[in-house]
């Protein structure tokens, strides 16, 4: 109706449709009761695994002549569509809170320059080749993007009774997501519970992520990742969006079986639309990008069935966190940037200046904030390992070696930074790159340049002989050597050096953590470095994997740009509590009028445990109770949304109430904590 009333006036037409609620392929049966709040459209071939589909595209064909069942020509979308397939208030709250958090000041950060490409193995390198095409497309659009390539066949494959697996890939993905990435793109096999035959991503992994302020857009060109119309399961795609405050901000994903050749096309078209800008320098919303990519795919490839199996889970009107402003390099050591590239040489000092620009290209004279420059050495060549019969060893390029990672101030849009190129850089001349991110708590900016050469030895500056200063603690700044910690403590490092920290990751000169002297528990922390002052100081936070009960030793080593090193050792003790400890328990808000949130933080053996939250009158009469079994490993917090009503659905009267949270481990050990609540 609104589309027709606009009579062709695009400014009056509705732009987006958000479908808020779950759907079900079982339209009438009792098992779909309460799970089919916002129905979707199902194709006629519902029993054919190749041609069946569920799609929300049906609601987007708004011209009078358009019919979803007419295929030649196939109808084109007229509106951006997305869905939040929530089946409970808790899921709905999680999804909405994440959208709010995505736009909070705390979500600003140079993680917004990172893009991750993950590729499956086998199939004669099909998925690796697809990811390389996506990488070329992204890199051609902007030099700001920092691409991390996690290609399965470049990692050591291990075998066991349950089949092959890639522990290195599991670690790389978790580390990558926790440190932050704007877009996470997967090409390969998958399903509703995991990605790849080797299970490189599953529900257990995502339950342990800690990326609340760094939520990526997930693009999964794989089969059946988010069949939101299946009332019998909660898919991994749905859990990424709605299960917890971490995970993904949105997904461009699939609902049914799809084909790799067609996936590559729509994946590439979506990336093209996502990173495009209009004449005013504005980026499209997620729904616009998907609409444009679907229409272009249908018009140019004709594979409309495969395209309909891709959906947007998330808010279609939301724009991805691509920085709106731009950054350009002005000079290196006082010489203005020109057609002849400048050269960065080892052990020489450089002063680089630049400026922040508005989306239209004019100087942002009112920009006063932090700038995060990264100087990269030339890309390195990585060779895949041909782990399987249908994989071939191939070489591909990856820009991984960081010469400088700093933080400086921009004043009236202008900034400069000084650094010494590390001794460990590759001396063979080749094309390097500078990537910038900046924000002033109002807007953020990104940019870069490839107009530099890295290589050779320069006029060396006098280097000091002392290694970096290392400060470290576990979980809390009050930590003392030998203290008792949780089984998965958070390691916090502070590094500083008068010449700069070596971040190249050169073999033998990495920022390294070794747990208990075990080579299998050795972790390279370079890419977690967060600068505080140029690259002269910075911090690192790293969540350790589960430690066994007993005493442990952590050895940390770091190097400066002249390859002077320092070492620090931490001693700690892990005591696994037999009962679950309820560390905190609170109600938000309190006093409450209507809906409230109960929130608890936990420590101890939570997997398989049961919790029960009960609300009582002062006289001891129970008025409401919630209970659930914990399926996630090492769960650290729970949240319970209460609608302000008693067990019968009646609103609670004004007064003071007592609530009690009880926890029971698998071994039957109980613990509890209580609090008071005022209802207005």
- 3-state SS of 467-481? CCEEEEEECCCCCCC
Q: Which CATH number fits domain 325-457: 3.30.960.10, 3.40.50.880, 2.60.40.10, 2.20.70.10?
A: 2.60.40.10
> How confident is the model at residue 32, as a pLDDT?
63
Could you say which residues of the chain have pLDDT below 70? 29-34, 161, 632-634
**CATH architecture observed for domain 469-574:** Sandwich (2.60)
What are the residue ranges of CATH 3.40.50.1460 in the chain?
A: 2-313
H helix intervals, 565-672 = none
d(CA 303, CA 425): 47
Would you tell me which CATH number, out of the four given (3.40.640.10, 3.30.2320.30, 3.55.40.10, 3.40.50.1460), belongs to the domain 2-313?
Answer: 3.40.50.1460
Q: Where in the chain is the domain with CATH 2.60.40.4070?
A: 581-679
Q: And the tokens for 33?
A: 């009761």
Cα angle 265, 269, 270; round to 5: 120
Q: What is the pLDDT of residue 310?
A: 97
Cβ contact 155:190 at 8 Å: no
Which part of the chain has CATH 2.60.40.10?
325-457
Dist. CA 277–CA 339, nearest whole Å? 26
CATH architecture of 581-679: Sandwich (2.60)
CA dist., res. 558 & res. 513, Å (int): 9
Nearest CA to 114 out of 194, 175, 188, 156 is that of 175
How confident is the model at residue 280, as a pLDDT? 85
Helical segments of 27-165, H only? 89-102, 126-141
Under a CB-based contact definition with an 8 Å cutoff, are residues 536 and 496 in contact?
Answer: yes
**Segment holding 331, helix H or strand E:** strand 325-332
Which residue's entry shows tokens 């910038």? Answer: 436
- Taking the alpha carbons at both ends of the chain, their separation in whole angstroms is 43
Residue of 535, 527, 110, 563 lying closest to 350 (CA atoms): 535
Q: SS3 of 611, please?
A: strand
Residue 14 has φ and ψ, to the nearest 5°, of -65, 140
Cis-peptide, bond into residue 483, ω within 30° of zero: no
The predicted structure's pLDDT at residue 135: 98
DSSP 623-634: EEEEEEE--STT
Q: At a CB cut-off of 8 Å and minimum separation 6, what does 323 contact?
A: 112, 113, 144, 437, 438, 439, 443, 444, 445, 446
Find the helix or strand (DSSP H, E) in which 298 lies. helix 286-301
């Amino acid at each position: 109706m609104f589309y027709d009333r606009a009579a062709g006036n695009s400014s009056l037409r509705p732009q987006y449709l958000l479908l808020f609620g779950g759907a079900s392929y079982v339209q009438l049966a009792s098992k779909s009761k309460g799970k089919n709040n916002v129905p979707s459209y199902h194709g006629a071939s519902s029993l054919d695994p190749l041609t069946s589909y569920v799609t929300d595209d049906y609601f987007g064909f708004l011209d009078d002549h358009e019919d979803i069942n007419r295929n030649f020509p196939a109808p084109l979308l007229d509106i951006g569509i997305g869905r939040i397939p929530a089946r409970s208030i808790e899921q709905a709250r999680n999804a909405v809170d994440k959208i709010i958090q995505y736009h909070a000041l705390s979500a600003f950060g140079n993680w917004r320059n990172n893009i991750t490409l993950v590729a499956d193995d086998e199939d004669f390198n099909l998925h690796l080749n697809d990811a390389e095409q996506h990488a070329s497309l992204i890199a051609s659009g902007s030099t700001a993007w920092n691409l991390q390539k996690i290609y399965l066949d470049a990692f050591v494959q291990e075998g066991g009774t349950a089949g092959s697996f890639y522990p290195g890939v599991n670690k790389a993905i978790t580390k990558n997501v926790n440190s932050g990435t704007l877009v996470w793109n997967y090409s390969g096999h998958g399903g509703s519970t995991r990605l790849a035959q080797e299970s490189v991503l599953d529900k257990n992994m995502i339950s342990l992520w800690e990326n609340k302020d760094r939520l990526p857009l997930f693009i999964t060109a794989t089969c059946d990742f988010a069949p939101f119309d299946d009332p019998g399961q909660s898919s991994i795609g749905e859990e990424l969006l709605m299960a917890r405050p971490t995970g993904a901000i949105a997904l461009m994903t699939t609902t049914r079986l799809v084909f790799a050749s067609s996936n590559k096309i729509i994946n590439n078209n979506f990336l093209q639309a996502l990173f495009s800008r209009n004449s005013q320098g504005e980026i499209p919303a997620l729904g616009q990008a998907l609409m444009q990519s679907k229409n272009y795919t249908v018009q140019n490839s004709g594979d409309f069935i495969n395209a309909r199996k891709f959906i947007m889970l998330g808010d279609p009107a939301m724009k991805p966190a691509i920085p709106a402003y731009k950054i350009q390099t002005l000079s290196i050591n006082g010489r203005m940037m020109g057609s002849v590239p400048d050269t960065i040489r080892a052990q020489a000092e450089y002063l680089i200046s630049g400026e922040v620009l508005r989306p239209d290209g004019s100087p942002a004279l009112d920009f006063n904030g932090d700038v995060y420059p990264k100087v990269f050495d030339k890309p390195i060549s990585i060779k895949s390992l041909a782990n399987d019969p249908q994989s071939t060893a191939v070489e591909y390029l990856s820009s991984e070696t960081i010469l400088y990672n700093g933080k400086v101030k921009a004043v009236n849009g202008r900034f400069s930074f000084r650094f010494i190129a590390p001794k460990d850089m590759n001396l063979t001349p080749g094309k390097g790159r500078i990537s910038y991110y900046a924000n002033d708590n109002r807007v953020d900016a990104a940019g870069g340049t490839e107009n530099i050469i890295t290589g050779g030895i320069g006029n060396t500056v006098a280097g000091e002989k002392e290694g970096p200063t290392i400060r470290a603690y576990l979980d809390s700044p009050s930590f003392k050597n030998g203290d008792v910690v949780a089984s998965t403590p958070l390691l916090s490092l502070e590094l500083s050096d008068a010449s700069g920290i070596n971040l190249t990751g050169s073999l033998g000169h990495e920022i390294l953590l070794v747990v208990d002297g075990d080579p299998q528990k050795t972790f390279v922390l370079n890419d977690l470095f967060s600068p505080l002052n140029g690259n002269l100081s910075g911090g690192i936070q790293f969540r350790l994997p589960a430690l066994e009960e007993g005493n442990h030793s952590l050895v940390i080593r770091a190097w400066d740009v002249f390859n002077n090193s320092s070492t620090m050792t931490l001693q700690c003790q892990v005591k696994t509590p037999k009962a679950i400890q309820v560390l905190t328990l609170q109600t938000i808000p309190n006093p409450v009028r209507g809906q409230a949130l109960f929130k608890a933080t936990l420590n101890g053996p939570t997997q398989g445990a049961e919790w029960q939250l009960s609300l009582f009158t002062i006289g001891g009469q129970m008025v409401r109770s919630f209970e659930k079994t914990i399926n996630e490993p090492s769960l650290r917090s729970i949240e319970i949304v209460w609608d302000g009503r008693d067990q019968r659905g009646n609103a609670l009267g004004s007064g003071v109430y007592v609530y009690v949270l009880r926890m029971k481990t698998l071994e039957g050990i109980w613990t509890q904590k209580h609090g008071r609540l005022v209802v207005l």
